[in-house]
Amino acid sequence: MLRKVLPTSSAVKVAQKCVFRNASTAAPIRPRICIVGAGPAGFYTAQYILKHLDNSDIDIVEKLPVPFGLVRFGVAPDHPEVKNVINTFTKTAENPRVRFLGNLCLGKDFTLEELRERYHAVLLTYGAEQDNTLNIPNENLQNVLSAREFVAWYNGLPGFENLNPELSGKSLTLLGQGNVAVDVARIVLSNVDDLKKTDITEYALETLSRSRIDTVHLVGRRGPLQAAFTIKELREMLKLSSCTTRWRADDFDHVEESIPNLPRPRKRITELMVKSLAEQAPNNVPLAGRCFQPIFFRSPVNFVGCGKVEAVEYVVNRLADGRAVPTEQRETIATDLVCRSIGYRAVSVDNHINFDARKGCVNNAGGRVLKRNLTGSDQTIDDIEDKYETGLYASGWLATGPTGVILTTMNNSFGVADLVCRDFNSNTIRLNGSRPGLELAGRPYVSWHGWKAIDREEVRLGQAKGKPREKLTRIETMLQIASNASD
């Protein structure tokens, strides 16, 4: 059934006003730009264009009723300082040259072809939302999840509120050693009373309060010198109350002697690991409380269990030129729950997107989307003329793959936005007529005003519990609140 977020007349009125303004022959034609995806990549791109392309109008289109993407649904609830960037995004969204259009999905509510007809330029910034898999036996056993699903569950991403991870066992295994995996470890091993002060969902708090997990293994295929987590995340784990970090001494053979020759960031984190190892109690001393155990040089080859996972079988690796090379040795470690954390990949949501399914990202060169059929040369791509889809761009993880942190996304998005501005200024994108923007009549969408109503309700619900907010997780509830807000 069609959900009515804003009165149809209001939606039509907005679209008609834009058409009327741009249709005037006396007024100069204004660049009209659509950004698909209201996460960090989308907002950073909009921020740069607003500053450097005068008189441009921007629509930020988002499939969810709420903005901010990974900042809202990916950043750990106990890292509120990282979410402060929302203040900058809010200033961008409230610029009079910007419209937020939530609850509208590319490939479902409109097509890429339609967007390209109705805007001078389109930027695809909708991120990466699919998990990489291990493709090993028994990966579909019960209690084998992805870290992305677990994070989405405790952060309130709609569609994951009923995940209900089973935390009745004693151990959790995280496959992968990036910051996302460490976030999951920290949330599971944290004191629930500390989490009550965050914006973690109430249902996650309830489940975590009953958790019996007291050991978390963080397993990586290479060694301590290649660990992907950052020093900030490691420090937080080492300082976690009622939790002991237990290293395997054998994993650190010849590591200390390598420290003087390491680059400074890697040197600092390695020194911290070696220091923690030197200070830990002997293995024959029983541990009190919960335990965080990083394990190196292991690659999973099989999940063991009948119906649900009971253990993970690993091949023992050695390093050769920085690569993990399997040996003949095997090790099996018991576990009650597994979360793989081996990266994400984007998906193509429209048949007209030139998408590389193998790499999991849009085919692009520096942010400009490449044509599907490149002609005119059999040499490298740099030799091919007319190789770009004029006015079509991609930024963020959809363009680069899931790499780096929010700062990485900011730098990439600023770079792509600069290309957009230069293409307009050089007349590569020709303003040979006004563009009306997305046709909104009959399409129920959430405006920025509607989002602010949702925001106020979440804050109100959170205040009653001593939290910054209590996130709404049902889209129907969000839409109802937004529909009751008047522009």
Q: Looking at the domain assignment, is residue 485 inside a domain? A: no
**Residue count of the chain:** 487
Instruction: Write out pLDDT tens, residues 238-286.
Output: 999 989 999 999 999 999 999 999 999 999 999 999 999 999 988 767 7
Q: What is the pLDDT of residue 377?
A: 52
Q: Looking at the domain assignment, is residue 483 inside a domain? A: no
Question: Which whole number is the average pLDDT over 198-207?
Answer: 97
Q: Answer yes or no: is 404 a known binding residue.
A: yes
Instruction: Write out pLDDT tens, residues 73-97.
Output: 999 999 999 999 999 999 999 999 9
Residue 187 clears pLDDT 70, i.e. is over it: yes
- Could you list the residue range(s) of the whole structural domain that residue 85 is in? 32-129+346-445
Instruction: Write out pLDDT tens, residues 120-141.
Output: 999 999 999 899 999 999 999 9
Q: Are residues 328 and 263 in the same domain?
A: yes
Strand partners, 99: 59
Q: Are residues 387 and 337 in the same domain?
A: no
Q: Are residues 284 and 306 in the same domain?
A: yes
Q: Answer yes or no: is 41 a known binding residue.
A: yes
Q: Are residues 362 and 386 in the same domain?
A: yes
Sheet holding 171-175: strands in order across?
144-146, 337-340, 171-175, 215-219, 290-295, 243-245
CA distances in angstroms from 60 to 44, 103, 348, listed in the order given: 11, 11, 19
Cα 234 from Cα 178, distance rounded (Å): 11
Q: What is the pLDDT of residue 18?
A: 35
Q: Looking at the domain assignment, is residue 389 inside a domain? A: yes
Q: Looking at the domain assignment, is residue 300 inside a domain? A: yes
Among candidate residues 325, 343, 361, the one where a domain is terminated: 343
Cα–chain center distance at 308: 28
- Do the bridges between strand 308-320 and strand 298-306 make them parallel or antiparallel, or are there none, so unpaired? antiparallel
Q: Are residues 172 and 283 in the same domain?
A: yes
Q: Looking at the domain assignment, is residue 116 inside a domain? A: yes
Percent of the chain with pLDDT over 90: 85
14 vs 427: which has the higher pLDDT: 427
Residue 19 clears pLDDT 60, i.e. is over it: no
Query: Can you state the angle between helices 85-93 and 40-52, rounded to 10 degrees?
Result: 50
Q: Answer yes or no: is 406 a known binding residue.
A: yes
CATH of the domain at 140: 3.50.50.60
Q: Are residues 172 and 122 in the same domain?
A: no
Q: Are residues 88 and 159 in the same domain?
A: no
Q: Looking at the domain assignment, is residue 477 inside a domain? A: no
Q: Which of 49-63, 326-340, 382-396 shows the lowest mean pLDDT across its residues?
A: 382-396
Q: Are residues 210 and 221 in the same domain?
A: yes
Give the model's confidence band at 178: pLDDT under 50 very low, under 70 low, under 90 confident, else very high.
Answer: very high
Instruction: Find, among 175, 152, 188, 475, the residue nearest to 300 by Cα.
Output: 175
Q: Are residues 199 and 312 in the same domain?
A: yes
Q: Are residues 149 and 280 in the same domain?
A: yes
Among candidate residues 343, 363, 391, the one where a domain is terminated: 343
Instruction: Find, among 361, 363, 344, the residue nearest to 130 by Cα.
Output: 344
Predicted TM-score (pTM) above 0.95: no
Retrieve residue 239's tokens: 């300082």
CB atoms within 10 A of CB 359: 12
- Half-sphere exposure for 403 (CA within 13 Å, toward CB): 10
Q: Answer yes or no: is 222 a known binding residue.
A: yes
Q: Are residues 337 and 353 in the same domain?
A: no
Measured in degrees and rounded to the nearest 5, phi and psi for residue 15 equal -65, -40
Q: Answer yes or no: is 70 a known binding residue.
A: yes
Q: Answer yes or no: is 177 a known binding residue.
A: yes
Q: Looking at the domain assignment, is residue 14 inside a domain? A: no
Q: Looking at the domain assignment, is residue 357 inside a domain? A: yes
Residue 12 clears pLDDT 50, i.e. is over it: no
Question: Which whole number is the average pLDDT over 158-165?
Answer: 96
Alpha helical stretches, state H, 354-447: 397-400, 406-425
Among candidate residues 426, 445, 464, the one where a domain is terminated: 445
Q: Answer yes or no: is 405 a known binding residue.
A: yes
Q: How many domains does the chain have?
A: 2
Q: Are residues 225 and 288 in the same domain?
A: yes
Q: What is the mean pLDDT of the chain?
A: 91
- Do the bridges between strand 215-219 and strand 323-334 make them parallel or antiparallel, or are there none, so unpaired? unpaired
Question: Which whole number is the average pLDDT over 293-308?
Answer: 97
CATH of the domain at 400: 3.40.50.720
Instruction: Find, among 449, 484, 362, 477, the residue nearest to 41 by Cα.
Output: 362
